[in-house]
């Protein structure tokens, strides 16, 4: 599904594959991800105040890689065979050479991810990000940096979203709170770390 006909820097830079992972595989992946003891609540510093992040996170990738954002440095944990299996499917579909994944665990609709772009220096000049969702459906929002365009997507169990060229340079994204949502969601954002 091409979502970006009128809303982004190029028509091909935002692509959503609904139910990319079949239901049985998505259920199996969700069950596994929910058992990860590596998921931890990080910290975020805003205007000099430090708060717990409103979600749990874990960072996995090739040996020696690390990722620094929101003033925290995460060293990559070694990927399990299940994470490698998910990554391989995403690489095969998108033809992007991802080598790391940030896992976000939203325990319920009070967990969220604020407006940001994935534009840290280690992701290179024009980061390409693939996002896989498991669990309950949540609204994912995008807005252009110029402020004149917005897009809202429902990300559901097994969906794959590719944020292609320009999306981290010209747009921000977020996962807003939805207090009525009681069920968990796990999102995996695959990235290419350019240097350790
Ligand atoms: O949970 C989501 O869909 C968004 C995750 C995200 O924005 C990120 O990992 O940078």
Ligand 1: does its nearest atom lie under 6 Å from the Cβ of 131? yes
Q: How many domains does the chain have?
A: 1
Distances (CA, A) of 190 to 6, 51, 184: 26, 25, 20
Residues 60-76 have pLDDT tens digits of 999 999 988 777 788 99
For residue 164 the two structure tokens come to 């292609």
Percent of the chain exceeding pLDDT 70 equals 93
Ligand 1 pocket mutation pick from 109, 113, 159 by most atoms within 8 angstroms of CB: 113
What local confidence, expressed as pLDDT, does residue 69 receive? 76
For residue 27 the two structure tokens come to 């259920």
CA dihedral 5, 164, 97, 26 (to 10 degrees): -70
For the residues 7-27, what does the mean pLDDT come to? 82
Residue with tokens 């990080």: 42
What is the CATH classification number for the domain harbouring 74? 2.60.120.590
Ligand 1: does its nearest atom lie under 6 Å from the Cβ of 102? yes
d(CA 13, CA 128): 9
- Evaluate whether residue 69 is within a structural domain: yes
Domain residue limits at 166: 14-191
* Nearest CA owner, ligand 1 atom 10: 118
């Amino acid at each position: 599904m091409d979502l970006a006909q009128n809303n982004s820097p190029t028509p091909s830079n935002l692509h959503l594959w609904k139910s990319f992972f079949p239901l049985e595989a998505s259920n199996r992946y969700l069950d596994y991800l929910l058992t990860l003891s590596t998921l931890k609540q990080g910290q975020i510093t805003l205007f000099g105040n430090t708060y717990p992040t409103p979600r749990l996170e874990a960072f996995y990738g090739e040996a020696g890689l690390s990722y620094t954002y929101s003033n925290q440095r995460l060293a990559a944990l070694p990927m399990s065979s299940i994470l490698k299996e998910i990554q391989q499917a995403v690489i095969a579909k998108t033809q992007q050479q991802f080598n790391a994944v940030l896992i976000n665990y939203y325990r319920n609709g009070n967990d969220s991810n604020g407006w940001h772009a994935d534009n840290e220096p280690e992701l290179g000049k024009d980061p390409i990000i693939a996002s896989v969702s498991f669990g309950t459906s949540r609204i994912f929002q995008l807005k252009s940096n110029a402020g004149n365009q917005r897009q809202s997507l429902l990300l559901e169990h097994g969906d794959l979203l590719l944020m292609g060229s320009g999306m981290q340079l010209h747009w921000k994204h977020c996962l807003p709170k939805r207090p009525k949502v009681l069920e968990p969601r796990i999102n995996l954002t695959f990235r290419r770390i350019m240097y350790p």
